[in-house]
Amino acid sequence: MEGKSNTARYRIITDTGGNKYRFFCALSGAAICTTKPVCGDTQEEELKIAWEEGKQYFNHCHKCGNWVGDAMYNADVFQCVACAPWEARPEFCSQCGTKISPGDTFCKECGSRLRYMEVTI
Ligand SMILES: [Zn+2]
Ligand SMILES: [Zn+2]
């Protein structure tokens, strides 16, 4: 685990106009975005430019420092789902009491955004 890295995991894709950077979710491993070709004097500089573009598609876990895509991020507690697992979600909707299926983000019945019981920020 790279953990507290400054950027998401990436792969460089060589292109005619420069190097493209493809950034990956730390948890799912899914490719979240691929940048436009960037040019820099050093690889470090290139990465910095590419990450300026790439990071808007990522969320930073405030606990472990992982960079993850929206699907692997719990915005209620600002943590990735490895730190704040979906299992911590309530079983029933707090608004209408409907039983919630695992993985639901919104209540099927009333449309409320499902939230964690405990918010530990
Ligand atoms: Zn985390
Ligand atoms: Zn509901």
In the structure, what pLDDT confidence band is assigned to residue 99 with cuts at 50, 70 and 90? confident
Whose atoms come closest to the Cα of 77: which ligand?
Answer: 1
- Find the 11 Cα to ligand 2 centroid distance in Å: 41
8 Å CB contact between 96 and 109: yes
State residue 2's pLDDT score: 42
Closest CA to 50 of 58, 60, 40, 59: 40
Predicted TM-score (pTM) of the model is 0.68
Closest CA to 63 of 89, 81, 87, 88: 81
In the structure, what pLDDT confidence band is assigned to residue 114 with cuts at 50, 70 and 90? confident
List the chain domain ranges: 9-84, 85-121
Mean pLDDT of 20-46: 95
Residue the block writes with tokens 């420069």: 18
- Find the 56 Cα to ligand 2 centroid distance in Å: 31
Whose atoms come closest to the Cα of 112: which ligand?
Answer: 2
Instruction: Calculate the CA 47 to chain-centre distance.
Output: 19
10 C-beta neighbours (distance < 10 Å), count: 20
- Find the 64 Cα to ligand 1 centroid distance in Å: 4
Residue the block writes with tokens 């050093």: 42
Q: What percent of the chain stands above pLDDT 90?
A: 56
Q: What percent of the chain stands above pLDDT 70?
A: 84
- Find the 107 Cα to ligand 2 centroid distance in Å: 5
